[in-house]
């Protein structure tokens, strides 16, 4: 039954009752213009009778909203301060025509209308929040570089690190081979010193068997 009342009340208010986005719904987000509405004596008397929180909210409004408030019918001025915080935010998103329609409803219809309006506003705020999260995630993924190959497989790139170290060096001159020097040395005959001439062919069997 409540959903039916909400749907009917929303239709009575007209399509798309909330024209502003969630980013513009907070009173704190509105830029103050530095000027304030000059109240009449009766308005000042009413203002001084408000609770401190209500006066603080009013003082934070820009002059345009303060002026709009005092131009409201007296019943709407009084009712505004009895609304829930979400309903107060939604109040300023309705057009004058929509507000007049809302206050022309009976108590049940008006309650259902506020439920419909605040539900739409919550959905709008959640949608904007989800969009912001998706944008942040997408940006983070793009900034992290390409993480997958064309077939969707994750591609890991390994970078080899070569540790710098001393390289082996060759001596400028090799020593002549001897009984004590047998490695990295020159054959005595090749050095022109002594010994038999090395064979330039393989004899086919060990020299001891020839």
Q: How far apart are CA 167 and CA 163, in angstroms?
A: 12
Pairwise CA distance, residues 158 & 6, whole Å? 60
Q: What DSSP state is assigned to residue 148?
A: B
| 53 or 138, higher pLDDT | 53
Query: Who has greater pLDDT, 14 or 191?
Result: 191
Residue pointed to by tokens 């998103």: 93
Q: What pLDDT was estimated at residue 133? A: 65
Residue 13 has pLDDT above 70, yes or no: no
Q: What is the pLDDT of residue 172?
A: 62
Residue given tokens 């999260």 in the structure block: 133
Output the pLDDT for position 81: 95
pLDDT tens digits along 22-34: 334 444 444 445 6
CA torsion 119-125-131-133 (nearest 10°) is: -120
Question: Tokens 């992290």 identify what position?
Answer: 144
pLDDT digits (tens, 9 = 90+) for 154-200: 565 555 655 555 555 556 677 888 878 888 787 777 777 666 666 67
Task: Output the pLDDT for position 65.
Answer: 94
* Closest among 165, 183, 162, 166 to 174, alpha carbons compared: 183
pLDDT, greater one: 9 or 84: 84
What are the residue boundaries of the structural domains of the chain, listed by start? 2-141
């Amino acid at each position: 039954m409540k959903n039916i009342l909400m749907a009917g009340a929303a239709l009575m208010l007209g399509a798309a009752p909330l024209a502003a986005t969630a980013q513009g719904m907070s009173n704190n987000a509105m830029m103050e213009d530095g000027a304030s509405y000059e109240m009449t004596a009766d308005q000042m008397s009413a203002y001084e009778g408000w609770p401190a929180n209500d006066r603080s909210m009013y003082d934070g409004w820009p002059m345009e909203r303060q002026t709009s408030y005092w131009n409201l019918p007296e019943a709407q001025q009084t009712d505004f301060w009895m609304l829930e915080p979400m309903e107060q935010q939604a109040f300023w998103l309705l057009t004058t025509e929509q507000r007049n329609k809302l206050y022309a409803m009976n108590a049940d219809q008006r309650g259902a209308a506020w439920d419909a309006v605040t539900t739409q506003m919550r959905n709008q705020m959640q949608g904007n929040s989800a969009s912001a999260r998706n944008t942040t995630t997408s940006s983070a993924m793009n900034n992290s570089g390409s993480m997958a190959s064309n077939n969707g497989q994750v591609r890991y790139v390994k970078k080899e690190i070569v540790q710098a170290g001393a390289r082996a060096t060759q001596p400028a001159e090799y020593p002549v081979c001897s009984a004590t020097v047998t490695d990295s040395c020159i054959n005595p005959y090749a050095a022109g010193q002594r010994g038999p001439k090395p064979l330039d062919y393989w004899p086919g069997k060990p020299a001891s068997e020839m």
